[in-house]
């Protein structure tokens, strides 16, 4: 059983650029959730994908979009980056029928300058 992996580990971008973050879910899981954690804050829910469809979204603008692939891996895309997008981005995979126990990846640290 493989764990949840994320890439890249760290990333530096300039304001206005676009970024794609990737997450490989744990084997057997069909649901991926993305979270944003600003420095000193708790994580905030961005959205969740279940079987390749968006299944819930937090209070984030449309600049934040995602995809889930047939192998249940996922991407988070952020367009027109702003300085406030600097944060740790976490993904978590789960098997939705299993009581929502979520397994977290190590995160991607994004810095926008």
Partner 1 sequence: KNEVEQSPQNLTAQEGEFITINCSYSVGISALHWLQQHPGGGIVSLFMLSSGKKKHGRLIATINIQEKHSSLHITASHPRDSAVYICAPGSSNTGKLIFGQGTTLQVKP
The contact set with partner 1 (CB under 8 A) reads 31, 33, 35, 37, 41-45, 48, 55-56, 58, 88, 90, 92, 94, 96, 99-104, 106-107, 109
Of the two residues 78 and 110, which places its CB atom closer to partner 1 in the complex? 110
**β-pair partners for 25:** none
Of the two residues 16 and 28, which places its CB atom closer to partner 1 in the complex? 28
Of the two residues 78 and 87, which places its CB atom closer to partner 1 in the complex? 87
Least distance (Å) between residue 109 CB and partner 1 = 7
CA–CA–CA angle 102, 56, 86 (5° rounding): 75
Contact status, residue 112 vs residue 13, Cβ threshold 8 Å: yes
Q: How far apart are CA 51 and CA 45, in angstroms?
A: 18
């Amino acid at each position: 059983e493989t764990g949840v992996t994320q890439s890249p580990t760290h990333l530096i971008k300039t304001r206005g650029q676009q970024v794609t973050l990737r997450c490989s879910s744990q084997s057997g899981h069909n649901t991926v959730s993305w979270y944003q954690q600003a420095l000193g804050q708790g994580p905030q829910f961005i959205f969740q994908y279940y079987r390749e469809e968006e299944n819930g979204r937090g209070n984030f603008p449309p600049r934040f979009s995602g995809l889930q692939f047939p192998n249940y891996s996922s991407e988070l895309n952020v367009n027109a980056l702003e300085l406030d997008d600097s944060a740790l981005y976490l993904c978590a995979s789960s098997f939705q029928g299993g009581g929502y126990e979520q397994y977290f990846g190590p995160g991607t640290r994004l810095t926008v300058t």
